[in-house]
Structure 1
């Protein structure tokens, strides 16, 4: 066996042990060998290197049914982090997650009158510098973008609300920061985050619907993102379910996004677009509490939201649909109409109720999922620890 092949095998075996500790929890060396199918001697060698590197620690011994007490191994992983960045029209979020699953950094900054690309470059540099100052290595960064993403080539094919077309984000940001950079759709990242650490933990099939200026969907099946043939699955914001006269950022009329996206909502109720989507939605919620006409407008948007969710539920039949972004603070005004429409239009509703949940991760959902994606280089064995 060549040296290269030996090193590849070592990385793959190490990744197998790391995934087991990350997803299945602490285990003794014997339990790890049983879980992974690796030889005990191989596990012992891998664990020794991981302990020396500060990635794994040994807990206190626990009694065993037979033989000597075992010492469970715990994935600390605090020396390695994945960096997730979400770039949106109004804000840029940064989240760093370490190999053990602990969130080490969370930041959201407004874009205001700046170029969103300049804001995300600055956020990446600042986050990497902060992690480095803590003695932590950033193994890679993933940028979550609201639009069509060519993930394989690191290109944003089209993000109309950002004004990006054919932008080589991975190469550009990588050159600016010195980090390995990947690009992913924001809804995909948010769906992954909710499945791993949010509203849909333990569910096999789920859909996440963004609630920002753009409307997209991330689909999870068997714990993995469903991307479609070209990686463009989930562009539900552009299905023709909205007001036929409403012009969308993509240039077409009648897109669902043009009627239920954040800008459409703010325009309908006469509230200025100010701050993050959650801050803008909270301002609308305060108005709706005392203004019946605002509440009525929100009810109408809830109807359109329900029709779109019903369409997705009829096609995908997921365990749950998660509503994120601005939908969360406005749920008291949107959800009654949304649920009525879902129950009226989902064919399976009389036989199996449709589980609609609200995001638990707020504006950090996409960036958190992006950070999880950045760690896959280590957890897949592509990058050595």
Structure 2
């Protein structure tokens, strides 16, 4: 059957609508005067963009209210229409896909994990597309778009996985496939870059000048923003750290840091665990399991140290499931950064993810939500033009 391939249009030159929407997101509930101040826009521009965003179904104007204690001119606060708009996110990991629904404020509404039956791209993508279609048929809210996040080298502009460290994927046209099989406009990114966007929009990073995210899973990679802008590089190739730990053994050392390597090491120790979540639970009280996470932190701390000295970021977010729960892991990161970098107080810079327990879902949703909060009117226009495949 014929399916129309829908892609999110390129961002327009006018960023004022996105600035207004981000101001409302940051404030929660805000009058036009506060939006104008926060977004750095004139009152006339705010008025016109609020009108457009309200007509587009992204903002709701609340009933008129007076200022504090009845003082000041009445105003009509604005809020995001989180009840009427959602996005669907697909995160593709080494052994499963996570398909989730998020509202436009970045809150995960529901999540479903689909184990891989095979590592073949078309089989994995077909299963993900089927779940997206099922969710879309059940949702009563407007679906703004589909976000896709995956590790490895992702060409975001082309919507293609160039290569993946664990999955045997090379030059897989993910966006084209999922657009055609879901009818939704698709935005795709590496999960680590998507998490930088998520930290800026919904997390602790906010408007910090420079933010770094290090992701420790079955793929180890880094993404960063400078002056609030996430860096991609030619064909989105920035972020590979295979040789960054230093020395001739760097590649093998980083290979020891993947989730699969930790689980394999745990099995060698006689620990009966099915995956990293199980291993984290065991490591809370088992010194041998703790050592596996601590050793990974010591290796990755050298990577963090190099990045800190290179970029001098305001915030470094480490996405490591052992960081918060496993004793000794946070200390290993901090001690390693002190040893290998010029950063004397890494505890003031380093933190865990703002989305503990929902990292994969948030990364997938943020891939499309960052586009929404950059050029909302174009993204909504693409959503309205989306074609439902037969059977949805």
Report TM bin, short chain.
0.7 to 0.9
1:27 aligns with: 30
Q: Per the alignment, in what secondary structure is the counterpart of residue 90 of structure 2?
A: strand
CA distance 1:254–1:237, shift in 2 (3 Å):
closer
CA distance in 1 between partners of 2:88 and 2:79 (Å): 22
Aligned with residue 21 of structure 2, among 14, 18, 26: 18
CA distance in 1 between partners of 2:72 and 2:342 (Å): 57
CA distance 1:279–1:120, shift in 2 (3 Å):
farther
Task: Tell whether 2:267 aligns with 1:270.
Answer: yes
CA distance in 1 between partners of 2:332 and 2:256 (Å): 15
1:3 aligns with: none
Q: Deviations over 1:79-119 (max 9, x none)?
A: 222222210113322333333x1525331415254447444
Aligned with residue 103 of structure 1, among 104, 107, 111: 107
1:177 aligns with: 182
Aligned with residue 214 of structure 2, among 209, 212, 215: 209
Q: CA deviation at 1:216?
A: 0.8
* RMSD across aligned positions (CA): 3.5
- TM-score (ref. length: structure 2): 0.78
CA distance in 1 between partners of 2:183 and 2:63 (Å): 40
Q: Deviations over 1:343-368 (max 9, x none)?
A: 11112327x76522122423532431
Task: Tell whether 2:362 aligns with 1:368.
Answer: yes
CA distance in 1 between partners of 2:351 and 2:107 (Å): 23
CA distance 1:31–1:343, shift in 2 (3 Å):
closer
Range with greater deviation from structure 2 (110-119 or 336-345): 110-119
Q: CA deviation at 1:33?
A: 6.0
CA distance 1:18–1:203, shift in 2 (3 Å):
closer
Task: Tell whether 2:165 aligns with 1:153.
Answer: no
CA distance in 2 between partners of 1:96 and 1:185 (Å): 18
Range with greater deviation from structure 2 (223-232 or 171-180): 223-232
Range with greater deviation from structure 2 (172-181 or 9-18): 9-18
CA distance in 1 between partners of 2:272 and 2:186 (Å): 31
1:248 aligns with: none
Task: Tell whether 2:53 aligns with 1:59.
Answer: no
CA distance in 2 between partners of 1:340 and 1:26 (Å): 41
Q: CA deviation at 1:38?
A: 5.5
Q: Per the alignment, in what secondary structure is the counterpart of residue 216 of structure 1?
A: strand
Contact 1:203 1:319 in 2 (8 A): yes
Range with greater deviation from structure 2 (186-195 or 18-27): 18-27
CA distance in 1 between partners of 2:220 and 2:159 (Å): 22
1:4 aligns with: none
Gaps of 5+ in 2: 1-10, 382-392
Gaps of 5+ in 1: 1-7, 245-252
Range with greater deviation from structure 2 (259-268 or 127-136): 127-136
Contact 1:90 1:277 in 2 (8 A): no
Q: CA deviation at 1:131?
A: 4.5
The count of aligned residue pairs is 363
CA distance in 1 between partners of 2:149 and 2:42 (Å): 35
Query: Where do 1:1-385 residues align within 5 Å?
Result: 14-15=17-18, 17-29=20-32, 32=35, 37=41, 40=44, 47=50, 50-51=53-54, 54-64=57-67, 68-99=73-104, 101=105, 103=107, 105-115=109-119, 117=121, 118-201=123-206, 203-241=208-246, 244=249, 254-270=251-267, 275=274, 277-283=276-282, 285=283, 289-290=285-286, 292-328=287-323, 331-349=326-344, 355-362=349-356, 364-379=358-373, 380=375, 381-384=377-380
Q: Per the alignment, in what secondary structure is the counterpart of residue 189 of structure 2?
A: strand
CA distance in 1 between partners of 2:306 and 2:245 (Å): 11
Contact 2:32 2:43 in 1 (8 A): no
1:250 aligns with: none
CA distance 1:368–1:129, shift in 2 (3 Å):
same
Q: CA deviation at 1:188?
A: 0.9
Q: Per the alignment, in what secondary structure is the counterpart of residue 181 of structure 2?
A: helix
Higher relative contact order (CA 8 A, sep 6+): 2
Range with greater deviation from structure 2 (205-214 or 163-172): 205-214
